Amino acid sequence: MSTVSPDKRRKMESALNQLKKHTVVVADTGDFNAIDEYKPQDATTNPSLILAAAKMPAYQHLVDQAIKYGIAKGGTEDEQVANTMDKLFVSFGLEILKKVPGRVSTEVDARLSFDKDEMVAKALKLIGLYGEAGIGKERVLIKLSSTWEGIQAGKELEEKHGVHCNMTLLFSFAQAVACAEAKVTLISPFVGRILDWYKENTDRKSYEPHEDPGVVSVTKIFNYYKKFGYGTVVMGASFRNTGEVKALAGCDLLTISPGLLAELSEDHSAVAAVLSVDKAMACDLQKVHLDEKDFRWQHNEDRMAVEKLSDGIRKFAADAVKLETMIREKMLNVKNGQ
Residue 186 CB-density burial (10 A; 0-12 exposed, 13-18 middle, 19+ buried): buried
Contact status, residue 35 vs residue 99, Cβ threshold 8 Å:
yes
- Which helix (H) or strand (E) element contains residue 25? strand 24-28
State how far the Cα of 169 lies from the Cα of 192, in Å rounded to an integer: 11
Residue 308 falls in the annotated catalytic set = no
CA 241, chain centre distance (Å):
17
| Backbone phi, psi, residue 187, to 5° | -120, 150
Handedness of CA 104, 224, 294, 200 (dihedral sign): negative
CA dihedral 206, 210, 213, 218 (to 10 degrees): 150
Contacts 24+ apart (CB under 8 A), 258-262: 258/27, 258/28, 258/29, 258/31, 258/34, 258/35, 258/38, 261/16, 261/25, 261/27, 261/35, 261/38, 261/40, 262/38
- The residue type of 262 is A
State how far the Cα of 124 lies from the Cα of 253, in Å rounded to an integer: 25
Strand pairing partners for 142? Answer: 106, 165
From the candidates 20, 116, 137, 143, give the one annotated as an active-site residue. 143
E strands in 171-249: 186-189, 233-236
Catalytic amino acids?
A: 143
